[in-house]
């Protein structure tokens, strides 16, 4: 689309007014599902694994030790789902929510890293991957 625009404005006899008209017809590429797909996928995977981890934690022998993990899993699942929703809607607020999402994922990933169950390991990996995707999506170098 940009190529078509550049080709047109290089034509002889183009004047100021036509240039501006062409420029505003050049639809700015809007971000959405396809552009943010890897971040959406990371959020949705993280949300599902957090739900799985929370339920699995309640079934451990020492549930008390997992209390903080359950709490963070629940918060992380909630924010990840809504971040994915806003990104797939191409919302201009998607980056704001991904900034918060990165912080929750980071905390949840760190808590999960303290435990040695299989579900906590999986969850730590998913949370860290999601935090990284969210930071990349919001333009923060990781």
Output the smallest distance, CB 49 to a second copy, in A.
7
**Calpha distance 14→82 (Å, rounded):** 47
Nearer to a second copy, 9 or 118 (CB): 118
How far does CA 40 lie from the centroid of its chain? 5
Output the smallest distance, CB 13 to a second copy, in A.
30
Output the smallest distance, CB 130 to a second copy, in A.
13
Taking Cα atoms as reference points, which of 104, 101, 105 lies closest to residue 123? 105
H-run or E-run covering 92: none
Nearer to a second copy, 85 or 113 (CB): 85
Nearer to a second copy, 9 or 65 (CB): 65
Nearer to a second copy, 95 or 113 (CB): 95
Question: Which residues bind to a second copy, rule: CB under 8 A?
Answer: 32-34, 40, 44, 47-49, 51-52, 54-56, 58-59, 63-64, 66-68, 70-71, 74-75, 77-79, 81-82, 84-86, 88-91, 93, 96-97, 100, 103-104
Reduced 3-state DSSP string for 12-69: CCCCHHHHHHHHHHCCCCCCCCCCCHHHHHHHHHHHHHHHHHHHHHHCCCCHHHHHHH
Overall residue count recorded for the chain in this entry: 142
Output the smallest distance, CB 23 to a second copy, in A.
20
């Amino acid at each position: 689309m940009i190529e078509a625009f550049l080709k047109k404005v290089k034509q002889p006899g183009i004047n100021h007014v036509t240039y501006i008209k062409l420029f505003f017809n050049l639809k700015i590429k809007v971000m959405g599902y396809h552009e943010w797909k890897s971040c959406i996928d990371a959020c949705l995977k993280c949300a599902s694994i957090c739900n799985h981890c929370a339920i699995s934690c309640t079934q451990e022998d020492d549930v008390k030790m997992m209390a903080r993990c359950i709490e963070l899993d629940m918060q992380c699942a909630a924010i990840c789902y809504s971040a994915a929703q806003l990104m797939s809607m191409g919302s201009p607020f998607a980056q704001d929510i991904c900034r918060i999402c990165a912080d929750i994922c980071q905390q949840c990933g760190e808590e999960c890293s303290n435990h040695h169950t299989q579900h906590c390991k999986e969850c730590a990996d998913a949370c860290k991957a999601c935090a990284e995707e969210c930071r990349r999506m919001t333009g923060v170098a990781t």
